[in-house]
């Protein structure tokens, strides 16, 4: 059986918490797309961990990185060392066909963003887009290439000449790294990671055939998808959950997908954001919700919940249940708003059309009564304020998908399961 945790907004919805939460009943957890640009955090009591490469859990599990996920070896090795340091003896499976994000890609990423000026995307600067370019152009290096130094040197030299010329002659930049240093470091990384190499498509397929549950951790979120998101302000790849099949290498089948959303909207970097709040209330939400990027550390833009996008995301991903996070952050406000439609040039427009020019979409709001601050521990749905329950009931009715989990804090135990 395949289960999945899917982000329904612009990222940072709290997916990491629910990967960790659902790992209680799943032995096998898979990262199949994205790279170190996607940071997921997990909190257990006073302990907080951040994962950008490994699936986000603090349980001892079988953790997989498939060929569809990009690998930044230095970051991955730090996370493997963290697991060892805290005594988590998870079994690690890394596909040797995973493409490597090189320091060269980070340099190209920075030069490209600088050259774009006011038109820059707002990349977190991890080199992910540049690595995907090389993968699609058949120039990329895979983890298996790092083990043989002669193979690595030949492939890296060819790529280096192309990218160095591009950085200098197209983007008017200059490399700050040396070929021999990168060659040596990458080779050492390859030797370290080789013991974890595994053809993950075969292992995962065997696990599924044995009737076991496999939990998928999606990278980024629905509206950063490079086809169905707010293009060009997206990532370089597809983020919809059904893209998992070619990225893992297994036949298509039904996925039991949990869609994760916040009680409001956030966005990191540039791009259209119709419900963004431009008053001091945005600062209040940012501080109350600790809305700073897990990877970038940048302050997140904050706005009201956009139910158009949530409903659209559930359709795109085939979501069966919802998890809503950060309901505690809005506690204490007099009133809450949510977007329930768009207008463009005074005419109502559908979400598909709005997404093609979201910067011109005017949100239509519905107002809700606020609820009191949530303090202490809540163990059932009935413990919640009535105004919050009304807000949640409207979301369920509008989206047409039931809310299964309600999160009122970062800790795993600050979660209500609705039966």
Catalytic residue selected from 20, 28, 40, 134: 40
Which residue in 231, 232, 228 sits closest to 242, CA to CA? Answer: 228
Which parts of 40-138 fold into alpha helices (H)? Answer: 73-85, 103-116, 128-136
Torsion of CA 343, 345, 350, 352, to 10 degrees: -120
Q: CB neighbours (10 Å) of residue 402?
A: 11
Residue 265: in which H helix or E strand, if any? strand 265-267
Bridge-based pairing state of the strands 403-407 and 40-44: unpaired
Structure tokens that stand for 256 in this block: 């039991």
SS3 236: coil
| Rounded to 5°, angle at Cα 54 from 246 and 85 | 160
Provide the Cα torsion 9, 11, 14, 17; round to 10°: 130
278 is catalytic: no
Name the catalytic one among 12, 20, 62, 225: 12
Q: Cβ(279)–Cβ(302) under 8 Å?
A: no
Q: CA nearest 407: which of 65, 19, 117? A: 19
| Cα(321)–Cα(317) distance, integer angstroms | 11
Active-site residue flag, 105: no
DSSP-assigned letter for residue 402: -
What backbone torsions phi and psi does residue 197 show, to the nearest 5 degrees? -65, 140
As annotated, the active-site residues are 12, 40
């Amino acid at each position: 059986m395949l289960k999945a945790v899917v982000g329904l907004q612009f990222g940072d919805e709290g997916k990491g918490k629910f990967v960790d939460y659902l790992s209680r009943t799943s032995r096998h957890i898979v990262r199949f797309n994205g790279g170190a640009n996607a940071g997921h955090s997990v909190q257990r009591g006073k302990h907080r961990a951040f994962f950008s490469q490994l699936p986000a859990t603090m349980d001892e599990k079988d953790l997989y990185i498939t060929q569809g996920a990009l690998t930044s070896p230095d970051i991955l090795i730090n996370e493997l060392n963290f697991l060892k340091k805290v005594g988590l003896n998870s079994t690690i499976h890394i596909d040797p066909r995973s493409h490597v994000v090189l320091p060269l890609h980070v340099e190209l990423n920075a030069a490209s963003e600088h050259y774009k000026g006011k038109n820059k995307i707002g990349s977190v600067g991890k080199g992910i887009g540049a690595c995907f370019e090389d993968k699609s152009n058949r120039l990329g290096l895979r983890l298996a290439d790092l083990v043989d130094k002669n193979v690595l040197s030949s492939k890296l030299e060819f790529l280096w000449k192309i990218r160095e010329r591009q950085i200098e002659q197209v983007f008017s930049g200059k490399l700050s790294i040396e070929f021999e240093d990168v060659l040596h470091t990458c080779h050492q990384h390859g030797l370290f990671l080789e013991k974890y190499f595994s053809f993950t498509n075969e292992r995962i397929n065997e696990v599924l055939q044995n009737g076991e549950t496999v939990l998928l951790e999606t990278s980024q979120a629905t509206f950063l998808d490079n086809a169905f998101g707010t293009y060009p302000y997206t990532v370089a790849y597809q983020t919809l959950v059904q893209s998992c099949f070619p990225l893992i290498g297994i036949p298509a089948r039904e996925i039991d997908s949990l869609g994760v959303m916040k009680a409001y909207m956030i966005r990191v970097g540039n791009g259209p954001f119709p419900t963004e709040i431009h008053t001091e209330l945005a600062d209040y939400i940012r501080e109350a919700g600790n809305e700073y990027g897990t990877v970038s550390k940048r302050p997140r833009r904050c706005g009201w919940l956009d139910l158009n996008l949530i409903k659209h995301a559930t359709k795109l991903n085939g979501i069966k249940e919802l998890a809503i996070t950060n309901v505690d952050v809005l506690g204490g406000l007099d009133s809450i708003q949510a977007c329930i439609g768009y207008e463009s040039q005074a005419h109502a427009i559908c979400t598909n059309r709005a997404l093609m020019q979201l910067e011109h979409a005017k949100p239509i709001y519905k107002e809700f009564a606020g609820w009191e601050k949530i303090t202490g521990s809540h163990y059932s749905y009935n413990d919640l304020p009535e105004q919050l329950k009304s807000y949640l009931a409207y979301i369920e009715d509008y989206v047409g998908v039931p809310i299964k989990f309600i999160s009122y804090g970062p800790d795993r135990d600050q979660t209500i399961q609705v039966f």
